[in-house]
Chain A
């Protein structure tokens, strides 16, 4: 099946274009989703029970990033997941960089 069949040909997420590293978190349990839900939607919600990135969703489902974005956008619209857009300006955020530096040193 061609990947964009899953998105009914849509190539843009309804909301913003989520960053590859944007964290997606489930708001519902995958097991609570209706029987008519697509397997992909169910798998995404299942993956996001602990937050994962858009890139990880695409990789784990073996879908192009563009398709994963559209599907995540649908799940956001359905209040099934939420996307954290993350730090807007991490490169200039001293506190975040200090935290990151400490973290890498401690690895």
Chain B
């Protein structure tokens, strides 16, 4: 019945959604950086939902990675991640996942980075060294990333050029100033990231 109806609608020029295509494609961007650097603020500035918090337990998710089995009877360490969602259209949804505040939860980073388009490394220029693990991680993984210097109180304490030199990031990695509270700044940062990812994908496709 249903397919007959669908056929008739198509014949009469009505567009019908193809069956099985009603689920949007999910894209993912990782927002990393040190503790309390503004990751959840960054996500919340552009997310259509208030950032949600989800928890993973190391005893389950990190087996074989952190070898928690050696600690008999230890209850699992819980790792919290905040994330937001942006509906790009009926066919696509973008998730922004903040990495756990503590960089030592590497197993979670791998899970977050898998299938992601790339990362935003949020930097507090007063505590520059806090972002080193995130920069190292994305570099080692070879995924596109952008370094965004969070303008706390809207004030730039360092020029992006100084941050670039201090971090020694490659020339193809953008370093920008970004007030994580402002949607337009967050949007611009994400655009830079996706542009970089697109250029890389095009180059790999050889066009």
Contacts and interface: CB of A to CB of B under 8 A. Distances in A.
Query: A and B, one complex?
Result: yes
B111 interface: yes
A91 B191 contact: no
Contact of B201 (A22, A93, A99): A93
Given A21-B115, A64-B78, A97-B197, A103 B94 contact: yes
B201 A104 contact: no
Interface residues of B, number: 52
B60 A87 contact: no
12 contacts: A21-B26, A21-B28, A22-B26, A51-B24, A66-B57, A82-B23, A91-B144, A91-B200, A97-B198, A97-B201, A101-B195, A103-B94
Interface in A20-70: 20-23, 25, 51, 53, 55-56, 58-60, 64-66
A107 interface: yes
A65 B25 contact: no
A1 B49 CA distance: 28
Given A89-B115, A90-B25, A103-B92, 15 more contacts: A19-B115, A25-B22, A51-B22, A51-B24, A65-B55, A86-B26, A86-B115, A87-B27, A91-B201, A97-B117, A97-B197, A97-B198, A100-B92, A101-B195, A107-B187
Contacts, number: 138
Nearest to A65: B56
A84 interface: yes
B204 interface: yes
A93 B118 CA distance: 13
B95 A100 contact: no
A91 B116 contact: yes
B198 A60 contact: no
A94 B198 contact: yes
B27 A92 contact: no
Interface string B36-79: 00000000001000001111110011000000000000000010
Given A59-B52, A66-B61, A91-B116, A25 B95 contact: no
A23 B191 contact: no
Contacts of B81: 55
Contacts of B202: 94
B205 interface: yes
A11 interface: yes
B102 to A, nearest CB: 17
A94 B116 CA distance: 14
Contacts of B53: 59
A103 B88 contact: yes
A69 to B, nearest CB: 9
